[in-house]
């Protein structure tokens, strides 16, 4: 491989990572000349704010992935887990409401959660590339 191709490959690889930002990336200096990182300016009383950020991102993705479900699957997941301001319901309660068997509710719930899990896994695999 010649040097031009090596340089081109480097810039392509770097372009993939150009949108990645580290919390420890230097963004400025304070009055004493100490480095200031993104982590330094994030202020919160909650020690687990990184976990909160991750959780909020996951909720956004979950809402997006709910669109791949059939209307019935979506209704079951929303009722079962109390999403969209609904109260949590048991499979038995959902079955009665939808006039289907509890075992069918269970199968639809499992199928829906599997679909959503696959989407999360696809995203995880894409982010590793």
* pTM over 0.75, yes/no: no
pLDDT-derived band at 1 (thresholds 50, 70, 90) equals very low
Dist. CA 89–CA 100, nearest whole Å: 15
Mean pLDDT of 86-110: 95
Q: Give the count of beta carbons closer than 10 Å to the beta carbon of residue 108.
A: 22
Measured at the alpha carbon of residue 57, what is the angle toward residues 51 and 58, in degrees to the nearest 5?
A: 85
One domain for residues 53 and 30:
no
Q: Which of 16, 14, 9 is nearest to 126 (CA)?
A: 16
The predicted pLDDT at position 79 comes to 93
**3-class DSSP assignment, residue 1:** coil
Dump pLDDT digits (tens) for 6-50: 656 665 665 555 566 666 777 777 778 888 777 766 665 655 666
One domain for residues 125 and 77:
yes
Q: What is the CATH number of the domain that holds 71?
A: 1.10.10.10
Query: What percent of the chain shows pLDDT beyond 90?
Result: 33
One domain for residues 61 and 119:
yes
Dump pLDDT digits (tens) for 69-87: 999 999 999 999 888 888 9
Do the beta carbons of residue 75 and residue 86 sit within 8 Å? no
One domain for residues 75 and 114:
yes
Q: Give the count of beta carbons closer than 10 Å to the beta carbon of residue 113.
A: 16
Full residue range of the structural domain in which residue 21 is found: 1-43
């Amino acid at each position: 491989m010649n040097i031009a191709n090596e340089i081109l490959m480097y810039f392509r690889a770097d372009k993939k990572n150009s949108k990645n930002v580290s919390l420890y990336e230097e963004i400025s200096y304070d009055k004493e000349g100490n480095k200031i990182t993104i982590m330094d300016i994030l202020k919160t009383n909650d020690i687990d704010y990184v976990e909160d950020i991750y959780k909020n991102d996951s909720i956004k993705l979950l809402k997006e992935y709910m669109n791949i479900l059939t209307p019935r699957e979506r209704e079951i997941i929303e009722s079962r887990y109390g999403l969209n301001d609904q109260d949590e319901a048991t499979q038995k309660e959902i079955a009665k409401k939808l006039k289907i068997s509890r075992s069918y509710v269970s199968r639809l719930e499992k199928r829906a959660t599997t679909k959503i899990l696959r989407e999360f896994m696809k995203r995880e695999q894409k982010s590793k590339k």
